[in-house]
Chain A
Amino acid sequence: MNEKAANEKAVIQKNAIEARNIVKTFGVGQAAARALDDVTVEIRQGEFFTLLGPSGCGKTTLLRLIAGFEMPTEGTILLDGQDITYLPPNKRPVNTVFQSYALFPHLTVAQNVGFGLEMQGRPKAEVNDTVARMLALVKLEPLAHRKTNQLSGGQQQRVALARALAPSPKVLLLDEPLSALDLKLRKEMQIELKRLQVETGITFVFVTHDQEEALTMSDRVGVMSQGKLQQVGSPKDIYTKPVNRFVASFIGETNFIAARAEAGKVHLATGDTIDIAGLSAGGNVTVTIRPEQLRLVDKTETGAMRATVKSLVYFGTDTHCYLSLTDGSEVVARLQSPASGDAGLTPGQSVGLRAVPGAAQIVLD
């Protein structure tokens, strides 16, 4: 009995953040716009969760609602199972790393990092201890007494991180924290962030519109578009099993081919038939196949789609081969470049095209 209750409790407590049916509208009447449209999401304790989506899809808005800078028009937000929907930001054990860093210009690096702890009224000794620990964590000890405007972008970034981590929040929110950094620094900070997350065990909610960043860093990704959460899943799930056309095209490159599903078989508009595992849909569907899952075969091979090579673009490790199918639609195949660098193809050439078994997926529109 006791054990069962404890188990149940453990299950309930697994979610750090639970957002339920969140609607957020800005403006009133005619000018009202829905930034978030019925978003429900559960973010697990200790995970690296990424919100991914194009500009204006509502990522920042969702983050601001979790931080408490804004209140939802409808819906509830729970933190560790407690309703925090209308709690002001200074009462939430949630901290933010701002895109602009928002470091206090009148304070030193150490004072910035200690700000949260001081406001919480922690004893001086504890503040100093934690600040020292945080500065060590982000490798900024030598700069403790600098003013923040004497730091480079990457260093400011680390101060912002240390400042937000110092009060040991239950959840750390990061709004495109790397977007102001150049490519090299960005890659370094990606690794650094991941390391910090693992070391501290704090739940990270990370916002980005860079799909590569989302795939490489996250435990789970939530893909958003136009105020709606389209799909939540592991990077692998999102990439290999996109639920709809938007997710399939936003994450990586892909090909869409119109098709009809009938009696467990999928008939492409090109007249070919392919197998799709676990097919349940019927009628008109869209099939998606990633470029790297297409293989060029001999045009006489049975079951292969017929295609004509349109153009070839050499990318070093691989070569992108643009092809047109018999129904006129265009697809791209990514072929590993052979050692000679020459794929042995010429535009205008007729070839056979085949998807790697299991690679074709059906997506909703």
Chain B
Amino acid sequence: MANPSLKPQRKRAFSVANLPGFTTIAIVAFVALYLPIITLAAYSFNASQSVAVWGGFSLDWYAKAWANDQVKDATVRSLIIAVSASLIATAVATMAALGTTRRRSFKGQTFIYVVINQPLMVPEIVSAVALLIFFSSIKVATGYTGLGYLIIAHAAFCIPFAYLPIRARLEGMDLSLETAAADLYATPWQTFRKVTLPILAPGVMAGAMLAFVISLDDVVITEFVKSGGQDTLPTYMLGQMRRQLTPEINAISSMLLALTVVLLTLFFLLTRKNDQ
């Protein structure tokens, strides 16, 4: 008789990922992450006033949110800030990524990484307080109270989010492509325009989208830096919830969620390894 231990048991490739329990933990984590979000989205279609008791299907809360001028204002403001801040952050991050990957390692390189990634490491509340104090002295000195402060503050904390995907893309780029461009009579500027930037483009787009989403979603720094009447969508929602909780908040959240999902999906498509 054949050795029983050599009999094929079950068709399952040898893999660490097949360890028992992994699947269970993954499912629990998945439920914990997505159940609240699904509930939130579901209750945005609730016909009753409550955010906890189901009263039938309706689109009333969407209509209400849509007609609310404060929501409209806050949305427009959020978009202006997010677009401007992500553009600024992406430009700065692109230059920073070029500067940090296109040279042999140099003294102070670690220091520069820390500086660029500061917003990821310093607690947001600390940055918020610091910005509040800093900007209020400028407000006093200049008298300017526009959206500029929020845009600059958002751009600052968005830089590391834009920087990381751009740097990853740059590090994966074959440097001999630039050498080849120079060999084929391209000036340094032409090399950047015709070779570096097009190859970098998915990374830049991904960085910009991530920065946009991060800016759109910010509460803490916005709450501290904004002047009166400068509510963004998240700070408006926070203010509303202090007064009363209606499914209108769910509706706004769901729309924000939908936008974020679309952008993040694009982000993942762009940063996929096997692009082009």
Given contacts A88-B182, A116-B185, contact A100 B176 (CB under 8 A): yes
Q: Is B69 engaged at the interface, CB distance under 8 Å to the other chain?
A: no
Q: A163: which B residues are within 8 A, CB to CB?
A: 184
Q: B199: which A residues are within 8 A, CB to CB?
A: 104-106
Q: A98: which B residues are within 8 A, CB to CB?
A: 176, 179-180
Other A-B pairs beyond A67-B183, A89-B182, A102-B176, 18, CB < 8 Å: A69-B183, A90-B185, A90-B186, A90-B187, A91-B185, A95-B183, A102-B179, A102-B180, A104-B177, A104-B180, A104-B199, A115-B194, A116-B185, A119-B185, A119-B190, A119-B194, A163-B184, A167-B184
Query: Which residue of chain A has the shortest Cβ distance to B187 in the bound complex?
Result: A90
Q: B177: which A residues are within 8 A, CB to CB?
A: 102, 104-105
Q: Is B181 engaged at the interface, CB distance under 8 Å to the other chain?
A: yes
Given contacts A105-B276, A149-B276, contact A119 B176 (CB under 8 A): no
Interface pairs (19), CB distance under 8 Å: A68-B182, A69-B183, A89-B179, A91-B185, A95-B184, A96-B180, A98-B180, A100-B174, A102-B174, A104-B181, A104-B199, A105-B276, A106-B195, A119-B181, A119-B184, A119-B185, A119-B186, A119-B190, A164-B184
Q: Is A34 engaged at the interface, CB distance under 8 Å to the other chain?
A: no
Proximity bits, A54-67, B CB within 8 Å = 1, else 0: 00000000000001
Q: B186: which A residues are within 8 A, CB to CB?
A: 90, 115, 119
Nearest Cβ in chain A — how far from B135, in angstroms?
42
Among all A-B residue pairs, the 9 with the closest Cβ atoms: A116-B184, A102-B180, A119-B185, A102-B176, A89-B182, A119-B186, A106-B198, A90-B185, A96-B183
A96 vs B179: C-alpha distance when bound (angstroms): 10
Interface residues in chain B, defined as those with a beta carbon under 8 Å from any beta carbon in chain A: 174, 176-177, 179-187, 190, 194-195, 198-199, 276
Query: Which residue of chain A has the shortest Cβ distance to B198 in the bound complex?
Result: A106
Query: Which residue of chain A has the shortest Cβ distance to B173 in the bound complex?
Result: A105
How many residues of A are counted as interface, with CB atoms below 8 angstroms from the partner's CB atoms?
Answer: 26
Q: B181: which A residues are within 8 A, CB to CB?
A: 104, 115, 119
Q: A94: which B residues are within 8 A, CB to CB?
A: 183
Nearest Cβ in chain B — how far from A116, in angstroms?
4
Query: Which residue of chain A has the shortest Cβ distance to B201 in the bound complex?
Result: A106
Nearest Cβ in chain B — how far from A64, in angstroms?
9
Q: Is A260 engaged at the interface, CB distance under 8 Å to the other chain?
A: no
A105 vs B194: C-alpha distance when bound (angstroms): 12
Nearest Cβ in chain B — how far from A32, in angstroms?
16
A155 vs B198: C-alpha distance when bound (angstroms): 23
A107 vs B184: C-alpha distance when bound (angstroms): 14
A222 vs B186: C-alpha distance when bound (angstroms): 31
Q: Is A241 engaged at the interface, CB distance under 8 Å to the other chain?
A: no
A89 vs B182: C-alpha distance when bound (angstroms): 6
A164 vs B181: C-alpha distance when bound (angstroms): 11
A199 vs B183: C-alpha distance when bound (angstroms): 23
A301 vs B183: C-alpha distance when bound (angstroms): 63
Q: Is the interface of B mostly helix, strand, loop or mixed?
A: helix
Nearest Cβ in chain A — how far from B187, in angstroms?
6
Nearest Cβ in chain A — how far from B4, in angstroms?
45
A94 vs B181: C-alpha distance when bound (angstroms): 12
Proximity bits, A98-124, B CB within 8 Å = 1, else 0: 101011111000000001100110000
Proximity bits, A120-160, B CB within 8 Å = 1, else 0: 10000000000000000000000000010100000000000
A67 vs B181: C-alpha distance when bound (angstroms): 12
A142 vs B190: C-alpha distance when bound (angstroms): 29
Interface residues in chain A, defined as those with a beta carbon under 8 Å from any beta carbon in chain B: 67-69, 88-91, 94-96, 98, 100, 102-106, 115-116, 119-120, 147, 149, 163-164, 167
Nearest Cβ in chain B — how far from A119, in angstroms?
4
Q: A119: which B residues are within 8 A, CB to CB?
A: 181, 184-187, 190, 194
Q: B185: which A residues are within 8 A, CB to CB?
A: 90-91, 116, 119-120, 167
A98 vs B176: C-alpha distance when bound (angstroms): 8
Nearest Cβ in chain A — how far from B175, in angstroms?
9
State which of A89, A116, A147, A167 has its C-beta within 8 Å of the C-beta of B276.
A147
A361 vs B177: C-alpha distance when bound (angstroms): 47
A120 vs B181: C-alpha distance when bound (angstroms): 11
Q: B174: which A residues are within 8 A, CB to CB?
A: 100, 102
Given contacts A90-B182, A90-B187, contact A106 B176 (CB under 8 A): no
Nearest Cβ in chain B — how far from A5, in angstroms?
33
Q: A103: which B residues are within 8 A, CB to CB?
A: 180
Q: A115: which B residues are within 8 A, CB to CB?
A: 181, 184, 186, 194
Nearest Cβ in chain B — how far from A20, in angstroms?
23
Query: Which residue of chain A has the shortest Cβ distance to B184 in the bound complex?
Result: A116
Q: A95: which B residues are within 8 A, CB to CB?
A: 183-184
Nearest Cβ in chain A — how far from B177, in angstroms?
5
A96 vs B178: C-alpha distance when bound (angstroms): 13
A67 vs B185: C-alpha distance when bound (angstroms): 11
Q: A167: which B residues are within 8 A, CB to CB?
A: 184-185
Q: B180: which A residues are within 8 A, CB to CB?
A: 96, 98, 102-104
Nearest Cβ in chain B — how far from A45, in angstroms?
20
A90 touches B183 (CB 8 A): yes
Q: B187: which A residues are within 8 A, CB to CB?
A: 90, 119
Nearest Cβ in chain A — how far from B39, in angstroms?
44
Query: Which residue of chain A has the shortest Cβ distance to B178 in the bound complex?
Result: A102
A89 touches B183 (CB 8 A): yes
A341 vs B174: C-alpha distance when bound (angstroms): 53
Nearest Cβ in chain A — how far from B191, in angstroms?
8
Q: Tell me which of B174, B180, B198 has the highest count of chain A C-beta atoms within 10 A of its own C-beta.
A: B180
Q: A88: which B residues are within 8 A, CB to CB?
A: 182
Q: A67: which B residues are within 8 A, CB to CB?
A: 183
A105 vs B199: C-alpha distance when bound (angstroms): 8
Q: B195: which A residues are within 8 A, CB to CB?
A: 104, 106
State which of A69, A91, A105, A164 has its C-beta within 8 Å of the C-beta of B179.
A69
A79 vs B28: C-alpha distance when bound (angstroms): 70
